[in-house]
Chain A
Amino acid sequence: MSDKTLNDRRLTWIKTGVFLLALLPSIKLAIGACTEGLGANPIEKITRVTGYWTLTLLLITLAATPLRLLFGWYWPVRIRRMLGLFAFFYGSLHFLTYLVLDQFFDWAAIAADIVKRPYITVGFPSFMLMIPLALTSTDRMVKRLGGKHWRWLHRLIYPIAIGGVVHYAWLVKKDLTNPLAFGALLVLLFGIRLLYRFRSYRKHKRKSSGLPCQTKNVTYR
């Protein structure tokens, strides 16, 4: 798809399609909950599914920039805000499932978990860090913060995604297949960014012929 010429109508179609697709797992969970279709341990199932989609959507959000760098696609960047908000949506469901269904507001047990269970020690702040990103996702907030500050703040998605993968890896008892797959994808996405950053750095160096390089105006998010 030559999306440099992507018109608004096509983008609307893509947006609607992705919106419905991203909503689907939560609809399936809701139907399962109403029809006793979540198996013998529904709370565990809901926790797993919402956690899986939080991480998946975080990685998809992080794929927008690499897709632009590699293929010159701009449409993923244009739906990135929605993807990030869906990651937050599933993250919130995941967190609320833990808080309400799993622990039922047992604050002492929750505090003990945060201190003593390493996967929660890293998972809890990872979710908390998503909150400021969701709150500053509007156009108005971008303007208010200014592009530079806003971009700086939204780089929090890197530690959030790393935290999410570590959270998953520390949770599983033995079978690390899925956490490692998420981890490998994350490394790939970071690797593409770093590669392009390095290349642009060299280009700049050549252009500016020995002068201190100026990469600060170039943003590769």
Chain B
Amino acid sequence: MRTYNTPPIPASEITPKALFLARRKFMQTLGSGALGALMPAALWAGEKLADVKKSAYTVPEELTPYKAVTGYNNFYEFGTGKEDPAANAGSLKTRPWTVAVEGEVHKPAVFDIDQILKMASLEERIYRMRCVEAWSMVVPWVGFSLAELIKRVEPTGNAKFVEFISLHDPEQMPGQRSSVLNWPYKEGLRMDEAMHPLTLLTVGLYGEVLPNQNGAPVRIVVPWKYGYKSAKSIVKIRFLETQPVSSWTEANPSEYGFYSNVNPEADNFRWSQAKERRIGDFFKRPTLLFNGYADEVAPLYAGMDLKKYY
């Protein structure tokens, strides 16, 4: 009878020796005492997240390569070009980081990012991501349902909407030195949308800590809406009785509505939404209503005119 078990460690989990030594050297140069104690368990972009479960939320489509997911996106806080976030997001400091939750809740709170990381078990969810500019990706996000956080703050009966407010700091976010949008970036959801299990409070992608350019350290992912609805680098979550105004709606109300559900029938001024180009594909593919999540989310909008409430 075996008296011990060797835990199976896949080779990919073992830190290469060079990296291991480099880390030691790094810690040594920090000085063993005070400085080291200040940054004990901080997780940095690119580091593997531990204990991530595979989720049933997945799509039978090829993942968009890591390089494209982290190298091509919109994050106007770091510039209006799609390669700007990857180039400029290095100046974002993701520790220390807190998220204030306030408004129509019984238990307002200020959560430290490390508290949020331990709030619920982390899941990997493979979602489609559809940009209003008619391109799309498939991304393995890591996080947990936003509902987990919402339950902890106990919204009051008056809470009808949730507003997400992103960091406003032109020092860290050079794109905010331009007034291309009215900073800080604000987004919002109806309460039932925010509570929907698909709505993901996201802390990682591809099994790693969220890279800065993708909205570190914590963001929302709402897969059935256009990408801009998924607020990044969130510092405040407010529960409201009245519908908040999103940044893009404020900038151009006729083009970007509050709902912004993916809808191939409802064209934008600039883009037909009937088709999309999946990054990496040559041929465009038809866009699906609610980005393919109609079975899960269509009931939220029963009886609503989706063209009126765009």
Chain A residues near B (Cβ < 8 Å): 39-41, 43-44, 101, 104, 109, 112-113, 116-119, 170-171, 173-175
Contact = CB atoms under 8 A, between A and B. Distances in A.
Task: Determine chain B's interface SS by DSSP, over half rule.
Answer: loop
Interface in B116-142: 133, 135
Contacts, number: 50
B279 A41 contact: yes
Given A39-B71, A39-B72, A173 B270 contact: yes
Given A39-B71, A104-B283, A175-B180, A170 B270 contact: yes
A40 B272 contact: no
A41 B135 contact: yes
Interface string B59-92: 0000000011001100010001011000000000
25 contacts: A39-B71, A40-B67, A40-B71, A41-B72, A41-B135, A43-B277, A44-B135, A101-B282, A104-B282, A104-B284, A112-B272, A113-B272, A116-B267, A117-B269, A117-B270, A117-B272, A170-B270, A171-B270, A173-B270, A174-B76, A174-B80, A174-B251, A174-B252, A175-B76, A175-B180
B231 to A, nearest CB: 17
A174 B283 CA distance: 27
Interface residues of B, number: 28
Contacts of B280: 40
B181 A40 contact: no
B196 interface: no
B238 interface: no
A41 B72 CA distance: 8
A174 B272 contact: no
Task: Determine chain A's interface SS by DSSP, over half rule.
Answer: helix
Contacts of A171: 270
Given A41-B279, A109-B272, A112-B272, A173 B133 contact: yes
A46 B284 CA distance: 16
Interface in B161-214: 178, 180-181
B275 interface: yes
Contacts of A116: 267, 272
Nearest to B251: A174
A44 B76 CA distance: 18
B66 to A, nearest CB: 11
B122 to A, nearest CB: 26
A40 B68 contact: yes
